[in-house]
Amino acid sequence: MSLRLGPIVHFQGIHAGKYRVSALLVTDLGDPQPAARLTNCKLIDIERIAGIPFSKPTRDVWRIQIAATQKKNTALRCEIDVGDGRASFHVPAAGESPRVAYESCNGFSAEKYRKKVIDRANERWFDMGQRHTVKDKEFHLLLMGGDQVYTDSLTVLTGPMKDWSERSHKDQVTATWNKKLEDQVDQFLAELYVSRWSQDGVRQMLQAIPYVAMWDDHDITDGWGSYPQELHECPVYQNLFRLASAYYRLFQQQLKAGETHPSALPIDSAKPAPLQGFTLAYAGLGELAILVPDLRSERHPDLKDKNGRFTPTRIASEATWDSIFAWLDGLSVARPRHLLLCSSLPVAYLDLNAAEVALNALPGTWELEDDLRDHWRSKPHRDERQRLIKRLLNFSALGTRVTIVSGDVHVAAAAVIESTLPQHGKGAGVIFQLVSTGIVHTPPPAVAVYFMEKFGAGQETIEYGVSARMLPIGFKGHYLVPERNWLSLEPDSKGRIWANWHVEGHDHLLTQVIDPVIPVE
């Protein structure tokens, strides 16, 4: 067997009392079905789930499905041996909250950024690997917060979409999709996932910690969902999205065509989503629940109502929000102490519009445009954001601490959303926002960080009684830490979560302690 990738492990959730994990392998086309030897877990099945590239396969993609039984007071170490490749993962004891590693921005949006760290590109992945070897401190889950691969080279140098990218806007919108583009983009995405995820540092972690992944724009194309409507809906972009979503399903959710993830939230058939999202929700993880909403596949720059009038930009459909809020309501039966909400973009963050005004006064430019269109604080997204924040505050008031973890912006940062409204109770009206990024991508220029802090870090009034502000977690009281980093979320015996940023070039951790809503005696 010629093993090209894997086995990489993915967390499917706890179902029918079993801790479910899948493992993905990529082999040369026609290789025999791999045989797997397992330790401390049970084999459910091994299945070929795809050939890649889809149009002209040269490799087979296999999935091993595994179940483990959690034991009281005893953690397990499960092992997978497929001959040419091995993986292992740790299963927490029954009722124990998992230790979580979080990362985002696993790559570079341009060659100039890669050149800055060419000799240590995956240094933070190796750092995570060292932390994972500490006995009784191993991580149980890896949350991947978006931009796990970067498709940006599709449109540069010898990329298959370079000629299209150099056309005028008018010509881009009217260009047709053809078989040549289909084959080339298909092959590009197949090679991108296999090559990026098999690199040293990345590969070892994907073979050691079951991951849960959400995607962001660079997994499709930079700024997806925030461009003008005619570009968003043009044949080239829609077909690129179709292929990118197929590869996301295959590699980031380990699904075959037509399958639904076992932890996917159902979409109400009475309100069908225009595009099927990939929102995942996990409960029963000790005192922790995790919500991973799909914030990309249903994005749309402009929509028309029944009268043909344009309505504001949408991040997710009504059907998706309904499914998310219904799931939150259902948690009241066995309410967790903590809810982690993954948002690829920070919900509470700097005022980038104010920072841009200041930056525009300087010679030269900095790439803020797609950030402004994409971010939750941009004007078209404010109503959707306000509704999400209110629902989360109401949920928190019932006894669960809500913490948002995010990436995208290439710095470490923290913020807090606070409510003084009486319905949110003492101590409940607080939501922490933890930002960790990038594990590989380099930070913004120092001048951009300076102006963002100076002009964008003021307190924000979201509505009456609800505000957001940045927290000074950085060195010497700074709000932003412009170094590559990843985040660990480690529960303790008192119901707290210790959030630790692991920052490149610094020996000491940056720490924020997240207390439960109800103080523990």
Name the token pair of 503. 């920052």
**Rounded average pLDDT over 399-426:** 92
Residue 81: pLDDT over 70: yes
Name the token pair of 140. 């149980």
- pLDDT by residue (tens digit) across 272-295? 544 566 899 999 999 999 999 999
Instruction: Tell me the torsion sign for CA atoms 394, 397, 400, 402.
Output: positive
- pLDDT by residue (tens digit) across 421-450? 888 876 668 999 999 999 999 999 888 888
**Rounded average pLDDT over 217-222:** 94
Residue 365: pLDDT over 50: no
- pLDDT by residue (tens digit) across 156-196? 888 999 999 999 999 999 999 999 999 999 999 999 999 99
Residue 364 pLDDT class (50, 70, 90 cuts): very low
Residue 496: pLDDT over 50: yes
Residue type, 38: L
- pLDDT by residue (tens digit) across 238-273? 999 999 999 999 999 999 998 999 999 987 655 554
Other C-beta atoms within 10 Å of 61: how many?
A: 25
What local confidence, expressed as pLDDT, does residue 337 receive? Answer: 95
What local confidence, expressed as pLDDT, does residue 362 receive? Answer: 52
Residue 108 pLDDT class (50, 70, 90 cuts): very high
What local confidence, expressed as pLDDT, does residue 319 receive? Answer: 86
CA distance 414 to 479: 7
| Mean per-residue pLDDT of the chain | 90
**Rounded average pLDDT over 91-108:** 97
Kindly report whether the peptide bond that precedes residue 51 is cis, defined as omega within 30 degrees of 0.
no
CA distance 98 to 338: 12
What local confidence, expressed as pLDDT, does residue 468 receive? Answer: 94
What local confidence, expressed as pLDDT, does residue 220 receive? Answer: 96
Percent of residues, the chain, with pLDDT higher than 90: 73
Lowest mean pLDDT across 51-55, 327-331, 455-459: 455-459
**Rounded average pLDDT over 122-138:** 97
- pLDDT by residue (tens digit) across 294-312? 999 988 877 666 676 666 6
Provide the terminal-to-terminal Cα distance of the chain, rounded to the nearest Å. 56
CATH superfamily of 94-514: Alkaline phosphatase D (PhoD) (3.60.21.70)
Residue 198: pLDDT over 80: yes
What local confidence, expressed as pLDDT, does residue 358 receive? Answer: 62
What local confidence, expressed as pLDDT, does residue 228 receive? Answer: 84
CA distance 265 to 488: 26
Pick the more confident residue, 399 or 8. Answer: 8
Residue 519: pLDDT over 50: no
Alpha helices, DSSP H only, in 248-381? 318-330, 352-359, 369-374
Pick the more confident residue, 103 or 320. Answer: 103
**Rounded average pLDDT over 59-64:** 98
**Rounded average pLDDT over 474-497:** 93
Residue 521: pLDDT over 50: no
Nearest to 3 by CA among 44, 60, 47: 60
What local confidence, expressed as pLDDT, does residue 445 receive? Answer: 87
- HSE-CB at 445 with a 13 A cutoff on CA atoms is 10
| Measured CA angle at 213 (ends 334, 97), to 5 deg | 35
Which helix (H) or strand (E) segment is 38 a member of?
strand 37-39
What local confidence, expressed as pLDDT, does residue 197 receive? Answer: 98
